[in-house]
Structure 1
Amino acid sequence: MNIPGMSLETEEEASTWISDWMSQLPPELHTVPLFHLAIPGSHDSMSYDLDINSSIIEPDRLKRFSGIYCVRKTVHKWATTQEATVKTQLDAGVRYLDLRIARKPNDADPTRLYFYHGLYTCTDVETALKEVRDWAKEHPKEILILSLSHFRGLNEHLHTYLINFIKTLFGSSLVCRSGGPTLKSCWDQGRNVIVSYDYQANQHPELWGKIKYFYGDTMDPNEVESKLCHALEKERPSHRFFVCGLNLTLPSDTRTLKYVLRPCDNLGRVELRSLPKLLLWLKQQSRKTAVNIVASDMVTHDDFVSTVVDINLKHVTG
């Protein structure tokens, strides 16, 4: 990204800039609602941490094969959408995290929760969110959007526990639901964490509702582009957060064998082959329609973050 008036002379300066890119945006963007800024995000943000020794959660047809290592290994290969830790993703400029929550059956700890994508993660939810909290404290002008969803195996008691944990952990850093927060309004209040909780939590003003996630639901980048184009032109909300997901998705039927039986391939490699094309489409599409959060797999590759952040300059350059 080439911020007007900024000169990044060293690699270290460039790295420092990208880890605090929101605070480096031109003043003209400080009062633009966050709904109208282009914000880089990661899809299935915790999938770098999947536990190959856990039972299989999805797809359903493979659950009964959880005891077979080679099946778990295949699920692991095709469920891993990120290779960088959450801290590394945040340092790289990602500001939206897609966090899918699950409860392990028969866990000895009655309130311990994990993330999942095909398999459970090694790291539990409390540990990961504490790391996010610490990062947010070190970067008070960077606004983080945490999207918690799916909640496999959670009952009302666990929802109550998790919501209270989030409210206690982030405390006064939480941005309460409002008409249209901006960078400046968040900075003025000293708040920089937005939590979207995809469950009935309307009684908690500290939590935001579900954020609409548009995606192609296909492994074909051309179809992804076509479906996202339709969504951005016909369905995108104008006064709420929404996600444009560049991620590919395996078929839910036997067509998935076309991909998972490739001995030397995995989802990450397929995504990386498609990402340059999808980013080129994003640049072109953003000239026609507004984008908000843009999520991808393998977010530390192919200038993903800088490509998304660059879109914001249209507010400055017209």
Structure 2
Amino acid sequence: MNNVGSYHVDGVPDLSEDLENWMSRLPHELKQTPIIYLAIPGSHDSFTSKITSDSELAPDAEDSIKKLSFLGSLLKVFLVKWSRTQTYMAHDQLIRGIRYFDLRIGTRSGNQDLFIVHGLYSAAVQSCLDEISAFLDTHTQEVVILDFQHFYGFTQNEHDRLMQMINKTFGAKLLPYNQHMNYVTLEYMTTQYRYQVICIYRSDAARFGQPLLWPSRSFPNPWPNTVSKTYLYEYLHNGLKNRPAKLGYITQCILTPPGWYIFKHLYSSLKKKCAIKLEESRSNWIENQSPGEGGMNIIIADFIELSDCKYVKEVVNVNQKLILNNKRY
């Protein structure tokens, strides 16, 4: 069996040798491939590494957790282990090859800033966006996809502030929305127009007068919501099989523990019980995927650094199959 995830295959180069610049180094034929048909590694709940036992409960915390808030710091000692999904923040993920970011945003009483949330408060949104923008300034052939997924405690005023923040931070780097996505290639974005950011904004608050924000329908993102590996892969298989044509598509290769599972394994962590548990079978699953029409596009995972970023390298190298397919014809 060819190890597509790690080595040269049938004369096709290892595309993951330089994760910091992997898009820049893609062969010309892949830079001319629509982004919706490339395999792109992403992170789930991307910027939660700043969550600590000093973090406050966030507005997205489940009601059952909020009822236990009287436990104070003791509660948060356990919550941190199940709320934090990544070890690195934006820059360190970018240099490790991540090009899609999943953002959950919340407001904070008495504070004008907006924050990354996942049960507990993490970093300020502006600091995350600044890290990404700084990376793009020095990596002009790289592209990122920002997915503003969920908004907690938001009114139209907060939406307006966040959209202004996005526009001010990225400016001319933002690719304007177009319902026709087949023309969006790396070559089109970075060579012809110097666009580097596709920004998905999953709220009706951005429906009117926001030509630089992409609506949810452009990148379907179905959630498996399971702790069962068997169900997860069945769900992912069916999702790709029925993937909408000519749109982007996000595959959530993650295990999501329900409340009862967390309480059962309270002294463990999301990393041990879900991310590491999934690693080997995910490698096998990725190896059997192909990019292109009806194939894998964006895939997201927790703790992207596991086993020296093996997941990221495997996803990037799935694109070898596009080259192989071209060589056969």
Common fold by TM > 0.5: yes
Contact 1:215-1:224 within 8 A present in 2 as well: no
**Structure 1 equivalent of residue 20 of structure 2:** 19
The residue aligned with 1:147 is 147
User: Helix, strand or coil: the match of 2:157?
Assistant: helix
Structure 2 counterpart of 1:93: 97
The superposition leaves residues 29-77 of structure 1 with CA deviations (integer Å, 9 ceiling, x where unpaired) of 1111101100000000011111422332312211132342121111111
- What is aligned with 1:158? 158
Cα separation, partners in 2 of 1:268 and 1:56, compared to 1, 3 Å: same
Partner of 1:272: 276
Structure 2 residue 262 is the aligned partner of structure 1 residue 259: no
Query: 1: distance between equivalents of 2:24 and 2:323?
Result: 15
Amino acid across the alignment from 2:150: H
Between the aligned partners of 1:98 and 1:7, the Cα distance in structure 2 is: 27
Per-residue deviation at 1:5? Answer: 6.9
Match of 2:68 in 1: 65
55-64 vs 220-229, greater mean Cα deviation: 55-64
**How many Å apart are 1:311 and its aligned residue?**
1.1
CA contact (8 A) 1:244 1:292 kept: yes
Give the 3-state SS of the residue equivalent to 1:214 in structure 2: coil
The percentage of aligned residue pairs carrying the same residue is 28
Counterpart AA for 2:164 = N
Contact 1:102 1:115 in 2 (8 A): yes
Q: Distance in 2 between matches of 1:59 and 1:155?
A: 20
What is residue 213 of structure 1 aligned with on the other side?
221
The aligned amino acid for 1:40 is P
Distance 1:156 1:25, change over 3 A: same
1:243 aligns with 2:245: no
Supply the distance in 1 between the matched residues of 2:291 and 2:92 (Cα, whole angstroms).
Answer: 30
Residue 299 of structure 2 corresponds to residue 294 of structure 1: yes
3-state SS of 1:151 partner: strand
Give aligned pairs, total. 303
**C-alpha contact 2:37 2:291 (8 A) present in aligned 1:** no
Give CA-to-partner distance per residue, 1:201-221, whole Å, 9 cap, x none. 132111111232233211122
1:161 positional shift: 1.3
**Residue 35 of structure 1 corresponds to which residue in structure 2?**
36
Which SS does the other structure have where 2:56 is aligned?
coil
1:311 aligns with 2:312: no
- Which whole-Å CA distance do the structure 1 matches of 2:234 and 2:290 have between them? 14
Match of 1:204 in 2: 210
Runs of 4+ in 1 over 4 A off after TM superposition: 1-8
Distance 1:191 1:266 in 2: 39
- 2:295 corresponds to which letter in structure 1? A
**Secondary structure, counterpart of 2:258 in structure 1:** coil
Contact 1:81–1:298 (CA under 8 A) maintained in structure 2 = yes
Distance change (3 Å), C-alpha of 1:317 and 1:196: same
Higher mean C-alpha deviation, range 224-233 or range 67-76 = 67-76
d(CA) in 2 for partners of 1:311 and 1:5? 11
* C-alpha distance in structure 2 between counterparts of 1:305 and 1:177, whole Å: 27
**RMSD of the TM alignment (CA)?**
2.0
